[in-house]
């Protein structure tokens, strides 16, 4: 069976694809949340804090494992481009994993501490392993998105949501401590990668047959702006989305504080990801084509997704905050009651991130990489400065987290406004294009760039 790019755009198709993703993500996240009370009784807050630092480091590195080529995959116009982008991304994942492995092996403990990664000193060997699995998974998700195989992506959410926590429980009962908690997380990521690899590549031998060195050079050269810009801006974006706070607060305060933050993230953000991740995959698959062919659809979709996601996020965050003082010690154990103030402090920032998340690739897919980079750098600098100044001023961990949460909220609102302006300008450029012009000549993104807007 030959893969063909999925042509998206109809309202019914969008809702159907989001619904498929929602079912898989809901089952996976529900299983993860349901098993969390078992995990909190097997592992301490300090151990979860180390896991939080590990996943934060892996999340920051993982988005650049393929050097941004995974983000270009939904823009492929043929099976030839898809195959060679996949090959280029696979080579990139191998090279970046090898590089991280060498650096992780050679860095002295003092340097890791300076990089806010001190808790990972004894577990540094797990970084390249996790990076290979996570980077490969991102590549395969991009390929499945290109083909519209959202059912397969949904299945990976289930295998990850069930397989990861179950592995952690088995390893925790065996007394493996932090190593078991971390290896269980890696097992969950690997399950999703291998499932999509079997469905997208192994089951279709014609796809690897289309790969050639010449084809890789041609296709990667065509999308070279993604490695040049997306490879490093996504690292900054991931760090600025809040993962860097695990590193900062673990260093400035204690791993236990990072553990309380980890639980807050699991309670608030994990359920919200059931919606936002589902919307993200479908929105990204549609944006790559609608930006060129029908910007009006992109504008309409943007204003459907953002307000809807805001209402969903509020419907979850408000009652969770209201019930937290009763629910957290009851469900997770009395030792975790101290996590409640951290959950409250994290909530405004997580609300803003949850609203931004489904449309987060917009500027990249509109090829406004420099604009996206400027915002990502600014947000990260402000977030790090907020944490450092708060700690230097003698604020408690909870007070510092409130400051960082306010900064995060303001940055996300600014980004959403920027996206809305860019989409509006793109749609206006399309409206003024000659209706009988050739689609390539009438490309609104090209017209917008040439106009200097």
* Domain segments of the chain as ranges: 11-448
User: How does the average pLDDT of the chain come out, rounded?
Assistant: 82
What's the pLDDT tens digit per position in 223-233? 887 777 666 67
- Lowest-confidence region among 14-18, 252-256, 420-424: 14-18
Its pTM stands at 0.67
Give dist(CA 409, CA 405) in Å, integer: 6
Q: Half-sphere exposure of 114 toward its Cβ, with a 13 Å CA cutoff?
A: 5
Q: What is the largest CA-CA distance in the chain?
A: 69
Exposure string (b/e) for 395-424, b if CB count within 10 Å is 16 or more? eebbebbbbbbebbbebbeebbebbbebbe
Question: Is it the case that residue 239 has pLDDT exceeding 90?
Answer: no
Residue 281 has a pLDDT of 66
What's the pLDDT tens digit per position in 426-435? 888 777 764 5
The answer to whether 73 and 365 are in contact (CB under 8 A) is no
Which residues make Cβ contacts (< 8 Å) with residue 390, sequence separation at least 6? 399, 400, 403, 404
Residue 440 has a pLDDT of 42
Question: Is it the case that residue 10 has pLDDT exceeding 60?
Answer: no
Mean pLDDT of 329-358: 91
Which pLDDT band holds residue 418 (cuts at 50, 70, 90)? Answer: very high
Residue 414 has a pLDDT of 93
Give dist(CA 245, CA 59) in Å, integer: 13
- Lowest-confidence region among 151-155, 162-166, 383-387, 446-450: 446-450
Cα distance from N-terminal residue to C-terminal residue, the chain: 43
């Amino acid at each position: 069976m030959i893969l063909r790019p999925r042509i998206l755009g109809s309202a019914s198709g969008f809702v159907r694809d989001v619904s498929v993703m929602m079912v898989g993500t809901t089952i996976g996240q529900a299983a993860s949340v349901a098993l969390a009370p078992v995990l909190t009784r097997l592992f301490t807050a300090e151990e979860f804090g180390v896991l939080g630092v590990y996943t934060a480091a892996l999340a920051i590195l993982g988005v650049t494992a393929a050097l941004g080529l995974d983000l270009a995959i939904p823009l492929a116009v043929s099976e030839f481009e898809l195959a060679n982008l996949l090959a280029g991304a696979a080579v990139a994942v191998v090279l970046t994993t090898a590089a991280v492995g060498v650096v992780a092996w050679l860095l002295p403990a003092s340097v890791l501490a300076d990089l806010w990664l001190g808790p990972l000193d004894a577990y540094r060997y797990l970084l390249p392993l996790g990076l290979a699995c996570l980077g490969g998974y991102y590549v395969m998700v991009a390929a499945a998105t290109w083909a519209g195989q959202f059912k397969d992506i949904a299945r990976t959410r289930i295998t990850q949501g069930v397989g990861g926590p179950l592995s952690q429980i088995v390893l925790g009962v065996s007394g493996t401590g932090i190593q078991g908690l971390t290896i269980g997380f890696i097992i969950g990521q690997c399950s999703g990668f291998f499932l999509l690899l079997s469905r997208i590549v192994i089951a279709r031998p014609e796809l690897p047959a289309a790969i050639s060195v010449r084809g890789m050079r041609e296709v990667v050269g065509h999308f070279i702006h993604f490695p040049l810009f997306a490879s490093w801006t996504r690292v900054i974006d991931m760090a600025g989305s809040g993962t860097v706070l695990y590193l900062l607060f673990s260093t400035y305060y204690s791993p236990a504080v990072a553990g309380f933050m980890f639980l807050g993230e699991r309670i608030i953000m994990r359920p919200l990801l059931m919606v936002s991740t589902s919307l993200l995959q479908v929105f990204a698959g549609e944006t790559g084509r609608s930006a060129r062919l029908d910007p009006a659809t992109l504008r309409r979709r943007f204003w459907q997704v953002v307000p809807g996601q805001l209402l969903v996020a509020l419907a979850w965050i408000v009652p969770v905050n209201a019930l937290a003082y009763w629910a957290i010690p009851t469900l997770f154990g009395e030792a975790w009651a101290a996590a409640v103030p951290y959950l409250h402090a994290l909530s405004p920032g997580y609300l803003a991130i949850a609203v931004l998340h489904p449309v987060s690739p917009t500027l990249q897919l509109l090829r406004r990489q420099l604009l996206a980079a400027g915002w990502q750098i600014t947000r990260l600098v402000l977030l790090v400065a907020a944490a450092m100044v708060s700690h230097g001023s003698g604020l408690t961990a909870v007070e510092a987290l409130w400051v960082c949460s306010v900064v995060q909220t303001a940055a996300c609102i600014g980004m959403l406004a920027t996206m809305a302006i860019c989409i509006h300008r793109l749609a206006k450029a399309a409206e003024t294009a000659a209706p009988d012009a050739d689609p390539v000549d009438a490309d609104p993104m090209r017209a917008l760039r040439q106009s200097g807007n």
